[in-house]
Amino acid sequence: MNAPASTTAATTRLGLAAAAALLAGCSIPIVSETELATESGRQFEEMRGSTPLSRDASLRRYINCVTDAIVAQLPEPYVSQDWTVEVFDEPDTINAFAMAGARVGIYSGLLKVAENQDQLAAVIGHEIAHVTEKHSLERINREMTTQAGVIGVNAALGGNRATAQVLQMGAQVGLSLPFSRGNETEADVVGLQFMAAAGFNPRESIALWQNMGKASKVGPPQFLSTHPSGDSRIQDLIKQLPAALKLYNEAQAAGRKPNCKR
| pLDDT for the residue numbered 181 | 74
Residue at 214 is within a domain: yes
Does residue 152 carry a pLDDT above 60? no
| pLDDT for the residue numbered 128 | 97
**What are the E-state strand segments in 32-138?**
84-88, 96-99, 103-107
Answer yes or no: pTM beyond 0.85: no
Residue at 145 is within a domain: no
**Averaged pLDDT for residues 113-136:** 96
| pLDDT for the residue numbered 230 | 63
| pLDDT for the residue numbered 227 | 52
Does residue 52 carry a pLDDT above 50? yes
Residue pLDDT, tens place only, 167-184: 555 545 444 455 677 888
Residue at 24 is within a domain: no
Residue at 2 is within a domain: no
Confidence tier at 22 by pLDDT (50, 70, 90) = very low
Residue at 150 is within a domain: no
Range of weakest confidence among 28-42, 87-101, 151-165, 225-239: 151-165
Residue at 259 is within a domain: no
Q: How many domains does the chain have?
A: 1
Please identify every residue annotated as catalytic. 127
| pLDDT for the residue numbered 136 | 84
| pLDDT for the residue numbered 157 | 42
Residue at 23 is within a domain: no
> Percent of the chain, pLDDT > 70?
69
Judged on CB neighbours under 10 Å (0-12, 13-18, 19+), 113 is buried
Does residue 18 carry a pLDDT above 70? no
| pLDDT for the residue numbered 149 | 53
User: In the beta sheet, which residues pair with residue 103?
Assistant: 84, 99
Q: Please enumerate in sequence order all residues whose Cβ is within 8 A of that of 193, keeping only pairs 6 or more positions apart, or say none.
A: 125, 243, 244, 247
Residue at 217 is within a domain: yes
Q: Are 101 and 58 in contact (CB under 8 A)?
A: no
For 198, the domain range is: 34-135+175-253
